[in-house]
Every structure is written in C-alpha cells, then in structure tokens.
Amino acid sequence: MKKILIVDDEPNILMALEYAFKKQDFEVFIARDGSEALEILKKEHPNVVLLDIMMPKVDGYQTLQLIKQNENLKDVKVVFLTAKSKKEDIEKGFSLGVDQYFTKPFSTKKIIAEINLLLQN
C-alpha cells in the first residue's frame, strides 16, 4: 500500500486531502507542522510527503531540507502544496530538492494523478 504524509496547518485542507487519498487506497498520515511531520516520517517512512510551506514551528522549506539531509529519508518524494505562488518561491522549492510544486487553490484530482505518476518513477 502506498503511504502519504499530508502536512498542513489548515484543518479543512487536511480533511479534504485525507479523504481523497484514502479513496485512492493510500495509507494516510497527518501532521500540522514540520516537527510533527519529521516524527511521523521517521516512524512510518511514507512514499511521499505533501507539504505546506507556511506553517508554525518548522516551516516547509526547513522540513524539506531536514528530509533531504537524512540518509534514511532522502528517497521519500516531497511535493509542496502552498499558497506561495511567486516565481522565486517555486524556484526556491526546486533548488532545495522538492519533487513537485502545487499552489493553492488546487485540484485534488490533479494532485492525486501527479503523485501517482511521481511514485511510478
């Protein structure tokens, strides 16, 4: 079973994405900030992390860097899902090693399709 960790501080987004991914037979884990995400990552080792950038405590950029620096986690695919849509934000995400970048508002169908594609590679 494919595992996904959804990291966002907005409850409505978490609920909508959790429901959608469970319908697609993903095992879904939820975190509300980067530090919570890192704990879940180390325990559950999901295939992919859907990660917001603007969050309390540890933001998405810092979380991405910590994932990529960890030998045990560097094979995990990371996808940003954020309201930060400026060219500089997108470039920063890719320069830090994000695998895909989506901006809010978003299409759940498109995100699921792209993540399934990403997991095939």
Mean pLDDT by 10 residues, the chain (121 residues): 96 96 97 95 96 93 95 93 95 96 94 95 72
Q: How far is CA 37 from CA 50, 70, 91, 107, in A?
A: 10, 14, 23, 23
**pTM of the full structure:** 0.95
Separation between Cα atoms, residue 75 and residue 70, nearest integer Å: 9
pLDDT, position 121: 72
SS3 75: coil
Domain CATH number, residue 115: 3.40.50.2300
The predicted-structure confidence for 92-111, as pLDDT tens digits, reads as follows 999 999 999 999 999 999 99
Instruction: Count up the domains in the chain and report the number.
Output: 1
Domain hosting 102: range is 2-120
Separation between Cα atoms, residue 18 and residue 24, nearest integer Å: 10
The predicted-structure confidence for 65-80, as pLDDT tens digits, reads as follows 999 999 999 899 999 9
Q: Report residue 10: phi and psi, to 5°.
A: -105, 110
